Structures are given as structure tokens and as C-alpha cells.
Structure 1
Amino acid sequence: MTTTETPPRPAPGKRRTKRVRRLVIALVVLVGLLVVADFGAAAIFEYQVSKRARDQFDLSDDPAVKVGGFSFLAQAISGEYGHVTIDAKGVPVEDTLRDLEVHIELRDVQAPLGDLVSGSLQEVKVREVEGQVKVKASDVNRAIASNRNNLIRSITNVKIDPISEQDAITDPDSRTDAEQEAAERAAEAEIEDTTAGARVCATANIGGDETEMCAYGIISLVEGAKMTFTPNRIELSNSVLGGGQLSPEADALLKQILNFTLDPGKLPFTVTPTAVTVEPGVLSVKGTANDVVLGK
């Protein structure tokens, strides 16, 4: 008589472990597919916006576009995107400004999913746009070098730093304690506006000698997006003009040399310029616009 042994059945705990493992693997695969789909859809949208921004700015290369928010697919299904940024570098304006940077914040962007997927997207509607054009110190050097005046053209090594408007107007070393406290309170209350404090340092050839100087003054927004720097006081690091103590004639001359105007052109998307800002090595003009259509 032959007996057949029945194989032992897996314990209930082991069966549950296998089911959980399969479920976890399935979820991981699903999440991976959703992530891939999310990145793929975002890439399509960013390409469409970048192409239209390139045409609108008349750029030689596509600008970088990035969509904010946790899930692009959730935004794409609704056809509305909360925050999109566009960055373009090396933007030329005429012959002197050749390395501008353009930064744009788009808020409440509308782009139907069907048009996006089919590639038939013609217009991208934007409720609010904030645009910024940055001018680097290298372009300031280039603009000054194009001046017809030989003395002004001799300026090199331009460096830009932000300071408070109070420090641009008066020398902190000459203030009383009460004046210094008032200046600090005023600096804390400063907001982005049509003026900003700046320190512009440079080297100039004066009388055949290299003279290092720093001008403390105000950057002002004038005539659309143009920026003008007006020095209020001059400090010299090394000079043949009499030990750091300038005569009125020399002071007026150096202020004239370091007084300049930059024209970065029109801001994108018909943005109206509203403020100037100063960062280390950079001067910029900002503005906003509402109800803009990208692609017109």
C-alpha cells in the first residue's frame, strides 16, 4: 500500500506576507509610473512655454522654464498652474549690454491639457507677471568703455554693492549717535522702490596714474526701464590728488565720471517698471503686469 504525503500548507502568516509584498511592489511600480508621467507632462508644458517665450523675447536660445507645485499632473488636469518661472541668460541689448539676465515669475497660468498634449497650444494666459532684468557689472564696464570721453573710457574694474540709501547720502563715520540710530531705523524701513542705494567702485586713469575710487550714491529708475547712478560722495583708496582729501574741482570731476545711465530695454510681457534693486555685482529693474497672454 502506497501512501501520498500532502505537502504542508503555508502558514497563514506567510500567505499574508506574500500578499503584502505583492501589494507593495505594485504600489512602487504605480508610483514610479506616475512620477515618470508627471515629469514627462511637465517637460512638454515647459517646452511649449519656453518656445513661446523665446519668440516673444527674440532670443537665440530657449529660456529655462520651471513649474512650481507638488504635482504637475494635478495642475495639468485642471489646466491651471499656480507658479511658473522663466529664466533667460546672455540676452543682448544693442551693442553695449550683451549679458543681461531676465527672470520672470508667472502666477495663475492657464493652459488647457488637451491643447498641451496635442501640441496645438496657441496662447498661455497669465493673471499676474513679475519681470526682472539684471545688468551685471561687466556690462556696466562695457557701457562706460563706450563713452566718447577718454577719461570716462579709462574706467575699469567696476564693482557694485548694495548699501542703504541713508549710507549713500551721508557718511556713517560723520554721524552722531542719534543720527546713526535714525539712519538705521530708516534703512530697516526701506522697501523696493524707484530708488536704491549703491556703492560703485572702479579704477580710473587720472593724470597717467591708476586711481582707485568708490562712489556712494543713488540708483534711480528714469524714463521707462533706464537706470541712472548719481554719486553723492567719493572716497579714494590711493590717489595722486592729495591724500584722499579732494578739492571741490576734483570731487566734481570724479562724480561726473561715475555718473552713468543704463538702458536694459523694455521689460518682457509689457511689464511696467516699478522698482530698482542692487545686489552684489548686479543692478536690476523690476516690474509687474496683469492679464498677460503669452503667444500673442
Structure 2
Amino acid sequence: MTTMTNPGQPRTVPRRRRRTRRLLITLVVIVGLLVAADFAAASVFEYQVSKRAREQFHLTDDPAVRVNGFSFLAQAIAGEYGHVSIDAKGVPVKDTLRDLEVHVDLMGVAAPLGDLLSGSLKQVRIAEVEGQVKVKASDVNRAILENKNPLISQIANVTIDPISEADAQSDPDDRTEKQQAEAERATELEDDDDTKAGAKICATGDIGGEETDFCAYGLIQLVDAAKAKFTPSRLEVTNSVLGSGELPKQFEAGILQMLTVTLDPGELPFTVTPTAVNVEPGILSVKGKAFDVVLSGSDL
């Protein structure tokens, strides 16, 4: 037996289902408004911090500021921000270093939102600051050219790569098995937060009228508090005359001297004391930490 549905009776959605749907829509709208408000408030805070960082770094443009973590409003109400990061690019220092990158992480920032927005903020306490200044290969190229050498008329195409401290000081091909094993053990113990690091700097130069590719291997070390000095210990060269070979000693010594450069990126921001150097592809950097930092007056 087949049961027929009355075609004249409209099918209706149960009242409970309609209420649930309306409730869900309302919740979605409220959550959307809260998220929008959170982002809007964070944008205002980041803009104010960016203006102050611009003044401290002496920049022509506002640096990028990001308040990490969710939600911003919860942090703002408490007046404490877990992690604020600041990134500035194209920072000039003197004539040689013209394109520095500055990265700062502020952890445990205490700053009442009302005081910050009203412009009456007089003091900011920061539990921990990590700062880093990165020097690009283009600036290293300019620093090398300042060490004028009559043997080389020009230098271009500078590249930077990290290597182990052992490889920076001796050629792996010249080591005995015992020396190689010792070098590998020493490499395993190397620390990224050290005052020295291995670096390979390569470039193309005109040596005696011949276009020559060369790579210098050496250590970059933290010197004079905030400066980074690269001291090459060995050199590899290639050109159409030599192939891959060695230069006469006087030529090699002159090139190594020319490639010995000291980079002065200036003081790290927010009173950070430099404690380490680091090498990344295309970049030499100086970094450091500070704890229990209080910024007031002209620092803000």
C-alpha cells in the first residue's frame, strides 16, 4: 500500500531548525566583527609603534611592525604584548653601507594602549629584545672597493655563503683523515650565537687585464663591540690564463688584503649589545640580545 503526500500542504522547515540557522548566522557575523575590530585595533597600534621606530632608525619610510599572537584586543586590554616584531629595509649607515636590513623582536612588551594612542606614553618596559642588522653582498662589494689595490681595477658580482670555521681556515683537500675527523667534530659543536663564523666571499675582478673569478675563505668576527671583520686566510682563483690555479704570492697577498674588510653597521637598536655574528647566503649579520629594557623619553 502506497502513502500519498497531500500536494496541497506546503512543506515547512521545523521551527527549531530555523532558529538554529539564524543563531549560527548571528554568531558568524559577531565573530567576523570581532576579528575585524581586532585587526583594526592592531593596525592602529602597529602604526604608532612604526612611527616611533622610524624616528629611532632615522628612516625615510615607516618600518613594518607586526603584533604576533591572537587576539590583539586581549593583549591590549591587559597592556602586555607577547611578541612584537619590527622590520626595516634600506637603512643607510654612512656612505658605504646603504642597504642594511634591521630586524627586532620585542618579547614581553608592557605598554597601556590608551597612553600609546593618546600620545602620552612615557615609558615602555620590554622583558627581552633580540636585534639583528644584516649587511647585504652589495654593501660588502662597496666596502671591498674602498680597499683600493692597483692589481685590481674593478670588482663585481660579490656573493656570500656560510661555511664551517674549519673550512674557513684550511682546505679540506689538504687534510689528513685524522684532521678531517677533527674538523667534522669541531663543526658539530659550532654555535650560531658565536662571535665568529666561517664565510666564503666570491667575486669577479679584473686582474692584470684578465677577468678573474676568485673566492676567499676566512672568518668573520665581532670586533670593537659592534663591528664585523672578515679576514680571509686562503684564496681560489680562475681565469683564462691560469685556469684553476694559484696566483703569484705577491698577487695573492694583495688580493687577500683587499678582501679584508671591517663592516660597521652602527649600534643595534633598542640598546641591544652585539654578541654574535652570523653568515647566511648573501648576508653577513650582527645580532644580540638585551633583557629588562626600559624605553623612555626620546627613545619612544
**Shared topology, TM-score over 0.5?**
yes
Residue 220, structure 1, aligned to residue 221, structure 2: yes
Q: What residue is the counterpart of 2:188 in the other structure?
A: 188
Please report how far the alpha carbon of residue 57 of structure 1 lies from its aligned counterpart in structure 2 after TM superposition.
Answer: 1.3
After TM superposition, the structure 1 stretch with the greater mean CA deviation from structure 2, 233-242 or 92-101, is: 233-242
Q: What residue is the counterpart of 2:200 in the other structure?
A: 199
Structure 2 residue matching 1:61: 3-state secondary structure:
coil
Residue 26, structure 1, aligned to residue 47, structure 2: no
User: Structure 1 pair 274/59, CA: closer, same or farther in 2 (3 Å)?
Assistant: same
Q: RMSD of the alignment, in Å? A: 2.2
Q: What 5-or-longer segments of structure 2 have no aligned partner?
A: 1-8
The answer (yes or no) to whether the contact 2:216–2:232 under 8 Å persists in 1 is yes
Q: What residue is the counterpart of 2:268 in the other structure?
A: 267
The answer (yes or no) to whether the contact 1:274–1:287 under 8 Å persists in 2 is yes
Q: What 5-or-longer segments of structure 1 have no aligned partner?
A: 1-7
User: Structure 1 pair 202/37, CA: closer, same or farther in 2 (3 Å)?
Assistant: same
Q: What residue is the counterpart of 1:290 in the other structure?
A: 291
Residue 135, structure 1, aligned to residue 143, structure 2: no
The answer (yes or no) to whether the contact 1:151–1:204 under 8 Å persists in 2 is no
The answer (yes or no) to whether the contact 2:80–2:110 under 8 Å persists in 1 is yes
Q: What residue is the counterpart of 2:6 in the other structure?
A: none
Q: What residue is the counterpart of 2:179 in the other structure?
A: 179
User: Structure 1 pair 154/9, CA: closer, same or farther in 2 (3 Å)?
Assistant: closer
Please report how far the alpha carbon of residue 56 of structure 1 lies from its aligned counterpart in structure 2 after TM superposition.
Answer: 1.3
Q: What residue is the counterpart of 2:109 in the other structure?
A: 109
Q: What residue is the counterpart of 1:14 in the other structure?
A: 14
Q: What residue is the counterpart of 2:279 in the other structure?
A: 278
Give the whole-Å Cα distance in 2 for the aligned partners of 1:239 and 1:220.
34
Amino acid at match of 1:214: C
Q: What residue is the counterpart of 1:3 in the other structure?
A: none
Please report how far the alpha carbon of residue 185 of structure 1 lies from its aligned counterpart in structure 2 after TM superposition.
Answer: 1.9
Give the whole-Å Cα distance in 2 for the aligned partners of 1:230 and 1:112.
47
Amino acid at match of 1:155: I
Amino acid at match of 2:72: F
Give the whole-Å Cα distance in 2 for the aligned partners of 1:230 and 1:105.
30
Please report how far the alpha carbon of residue 211 of structure 1 lies from its aligned counterpart in structure 2 after TM superposition.
Answer: 1.5
Give the whole-Å Cα distance in 2 for the aligned partners of 1:17 and 1:202.
72
User: Structure 1 pair 91/153, CA: closer, same or farther in 2 (3 Å)?
Assistant: farther
Please report how far the alpha carbon of residue 70 of structure 1 lies from its aligned counterpart in structure 2 after TM superposition.
Answer: 2.2
* Count of residue pairs the alignment pairs up: 289
User: Structure 1 pair 187/243, CA: closer, same or farther in 2 (3 Å)?
Assistant: closer
The answer (yes or no) to whether the contact 2:152–2:207 under 8 Å persists in 1 is no
Amino acid at match of 1:206: I
Q: What residue is the counterpart of 1:71 in the other structure?
A: 71
Please report how far the alpha carbon of residue 182 of structure 1 lies from its aligned counterpart in structure 2 after TM superposition.
Answer: 2.2
User: Structure 1 pair 217/131, CA: closer, same or farther in 2 (3 Å)?
Assistant: same
Amino acid at match of 1:220: Q
Q: What residue is the counterpart of 1:42 in the other structure?
A: 42
The answer (yes or no) to whether the contact 1:212–1:239 under 8 Å persists in 2 is no
Q: What residue is the counterpart of 1:121 in the other structure?
A: 121
After TM superposition, the structure 1 stretch with the greater mean CA deviation from structure 2, 244-253 or 136-145, is: 244-253
Give the whole-Å Cα distance in 2 for the aligned partners of 1:72 and 1:58.
28
Give the whole-Å Cα distance in 1 for the aligned partners of 2:268 and 2:213.
34
Please report how far the alpha carbon of residue 73 of structure 1 lies from its aligned counterpart in structure 2 after TM superposition.
Answer: 1.1
Give the whole-Å Cα distance in 2 for the aligned partners of 1:131 and 1:119.
25
Alignment deviations for residues 219-250 of structure 1 (CA, whole Å, 9 cap, x no partner)? 01111211111111111122646861333333
Please report how far the alpha carbon of residue 201 of structure 1 lies from its aligned counterpart in structure 2 after TM superposition.
Answer: 0.6
Structure 1 residue matching 2:251: 3-state secondary structure:
helix
User: Structure 1 pair 30/243, CA: closer, same or farther in 2 (3 Å)?
Assistant: closer
Q: What residue is the counterpart of 2:231 in the other structure?
A: 230
The answer (yes or no) to whether the contact 1:224–1:266 under 8 Å persists in 2 is no
| TM-score, with length taken from structure 1 | 0.91
Amino acid at match of 2:86: I
User: Structure 1 pair 77/20, CA: closer, same or farther in 2 (3 Å)?
Assistant: same
Q: What residue is the counterpart of 1:52 in the other structure?
A: 52
Structure 1 residue matching 2:197: 3-state secondary structure:
strand
User: Structure 1 pair 172/42, CA: closer, same or farther in 2 (3 Å)?
Assistant: same
Give the whole-Å Cα distance in 2 for the aligned partners of 1:117 and 1:266.
28
Amino acid at match of 1:286: K
